Amino acid sequence: MSETIGMIGLGNMGTPIAENIQRAGYSLKVYNRTASKAAALVASGAKSVSAAAEVASKGGIVITMVSDDKALEALCSGPDSFVSRLGAGGIHISMSTIAPATARRLAAQHEMLNVAYVAAPVFGRPEAAAARQLAVCVSGPAAARTKVSPILAAVGRSIFEFGEDPGAANVVKLCGNFLLASAVEALAEAFTLAEKNGIERTRVFKMLTQTLFPCPVYQGYGQRIAEHSYEPAGFRLALGFKDINLVLQTAAEVQMPMPTASLLHDRWLSAMAKKRENLDWAAVALGVSEDAGIKV
């Protein structure tokens, strides 16, 4: 394919996503604050640029995968941003996990420049991204969604459409992350209950995930929690804390009580206070053990 896609953000998720886009035959222009992270992509034919706006071409497509709302808004702001450089007919695919309100605000700003904003947050850890097994949630203008669907198909095993509201896909993403965080807490409590009763954690993990809960979430996180294995981080605890805050923020905006999310917030806040922000987010399970008087 002759089309060149711009990519901003080459972290644990952005890099494998970019690699799959490249394998699908697209040319890439990439930007990352730490330029060395682009080395493997450059070796495969991508062009690394020194400023984020340089990934964009007039009427083209740019994908962003950055850490939070603040980082994304900074990239999209100002007359020298990549959004301004895209101009009429351009499309911005935002794959970051951000607040739905931020997505809607950015979409309105993009529209003033005749740039389409497509929200496309994903479910899956880095290994799923590398294997092209992500689940992609998409919302935004119908014509833009149709145009970018081959690109999204190159990075995920399934694409789920949620209409034209640019915030809708991020609502779904936050719902999913809330359920994941709830599963982490539940697994930690169950395994710790077993341990306090003299039963080896990994034995309980194996039994439950081979019978009642034979699903990727319980199997993947269950093993980490049963073994207290939290490095390397597939998804940093600090990012999980950010997402739980976004869940509560989004719930408050529509007057939706979420008592479980409030509990999760305190669990993650405690882990952050104990300087565990760079461990995998499943490391909040350490707090469950500590509450039970178990030293890990």
Catalytic residue numbers, as ranges:
173
Residue with tokens 């740039």: 115
Instruction: Name the CA dihedral angle for 255, 259, 264, 267, rounded to a multiple of 10 degrees.
Output: 120
Q: From CA 9, how far away is CA 149, in angstroms rounded?
A: 20
Nearest Cα neighbor of 233 from 105, 127, 120 is 127
Among 143, 90, 89, 151, CA closest to 120? 151
**Which residues touch 193 (CB under 8 Å, ≥6 apart)?**
none
C-beta separation of 144 from 169 below 8 A: no
Count CB-CB contacts under 10 A for residue 231: 10
Which three-class secondary structure state does DSSP give residue 27? Answer: strand
| Sheet bearing 116-119, strands edge to edge | 47-48, 27-31, 4-8, 61-64, 91-94, 116-119
Strands in 162-281 per DSSP E:
none
